[in-house]
A = this chain, B = another copy of it.
Amino acid sequence: MKITLRQMEIFINVVASGHLTNVAKEMNLSQSAISMSIKELENILGRPVFDRINKKLVLNEVGRAFYKEIEPIYRKLSDIEFEFKNSENKGIIRVGASTTIVDYLMPSIICSYMSAYPDVKITLKEGNTKEIARMIEEGTIDIGFVEGFVQGSDIVKEKIGVDELIVVTADKALSQKSVFIDELANERWILREPGSGTREVFLDYIKEKVDALNIFLELGHTESIKSILNNRSCLTCLSKISVEDELKSGKLFQVPVKNFDCKRDFLMIHHKDKYHSSLFEKFVFFSRKLMVKMIEEQQCAIDLAKELKKSL
């Protein structure tokens, strides 16, 4: 036999009042219901919790200790239940995103979302496109953001932006004249590792124009590539948003390649069976708007977040 929450509730009320009859009235129950509930509680514990003194029920030493343990927990449990019944904006959203998005778009989205909905927690997982897709299929994450293509019949995809790949260098001389991509093939190239979406899309795009690219270094992170770039005269191809700051500040330069228009989609994905809680819907709505704006206008996400909050 196990103690129930009801028994605790009744027990706590009897402790407070000391009279079964009062508690029965308060709780809209019969006096015998209270009596039997207390008796059952005492049965389960194996010994009385009240001394019956002058028609009053007074906690005994066992009951007192039991009450002290159980009362705060009961209250907390009630609070939690109330919170979840009444607050829509409570939950933990697990987000997954592929490398470029994780680094350059997610931080400000998450940060601004959390300031709009302080009761919602967010966990962020990184992975390449395939890994993120698998997490969606398994239910390990609620929503994913990836670059490129996703396959899987259970996955609902939505294009929420375009990712432009550009050729970049730190060597100003290289960026002065407009050239065709094959003319750059013998320059020293740094690329992301095989398997990376950025690399695959780039190589696929140029495969008919360039025979052999002079790849002299492969690195796992965009930031590593940027730092190396600064020290040597070499080239790379990266997502435009990831080098936005450096282009503005003049640390890096875009190489004006003729006929070079290498684009891929940013996708927001979720499982087709996903229950669309208001929490989830709001996050989706929020991300969609914010993502589009950020990509198009590179505008401060935090300011936008405030506007969005009002419209929801």
Q: Which residues does A use to contact B, with CB under 8 Å? A: 2-6, 44-48, 50-54, 56, 58, 60-62, 64-66, 68-70, 73, 76-77, 80-81, 84-85, 90-94, 120-121, 137-139, 142, 154, 271, 273-275, 277-280
Query: A85, B52: Cβ atoms under 8 Å?
Result: no
Query: A2, B2: Cβ atoms under 8 Å?
Result: no
* Chain B residues, CB < 8 A from A6: 4
Residue of B nearest to A76 (CB): B73
Query: A92, B121: Cβ atoms under 8 Å?
Result: no
Q: For residue A103, give the distance in angstroms from its CB to the closest CB of chain B.
A: 24
A4 partner, pick from B5, B66, B154, beta carbons under 8 A = B5
* Chain B residues, CB < 8 A from A120: 61
Q: For residue A226, give the distance in angstroms from its CB to the closest CB of chain B.
A: 35
Instruction: State the CA gap A220–B47 with chains docked (Å).
Output: 42
Query: A51, B90: Cβ atoms under 8 Å?
Result: no
Q: Can you list 10 contacts pairing A with B, beta carbon distance less than 8 Å?
A: A2-B81, A4-B4, A4-B6, A51-B271, A60-B275, A60-B277, A61-B279, A62-B84, A69-B84, A73-B77
Query: A85, B46: Cβ atoms under 8 Å?
Result: yes
Residue of B nearest to A143 (CB): B61
Known A77-B70, A121-B65, A139-B56; judge A51-B275 contact (CB<8 A).
yes
State the copy count for this chain: 2
- Specify the main secondary structure of chain A where it touches its partner: mixed
Query: B273, A60: Cβ atoms under 8 Å?
Result: no
* Chain B residues, CB < 8 A from A66: 80, 84
Residue of B nearest to A67 (CB): B92
Query: B53, A139: Cβ atoms under 8 Å?
Result: yes
* Chain B residues, CB < 8 A from A142: 60-61
Instruction: State the CA gap A61–B120 with chains docked (Å).
Output: 9
Query: B84, A45: Cβ atoms under 8 Å?
Result: yes
A90 partner, pick from B54, B65, B73, beta carbons under 8 A = B65
* Chain B residues, CB < 8 A from A56: 139
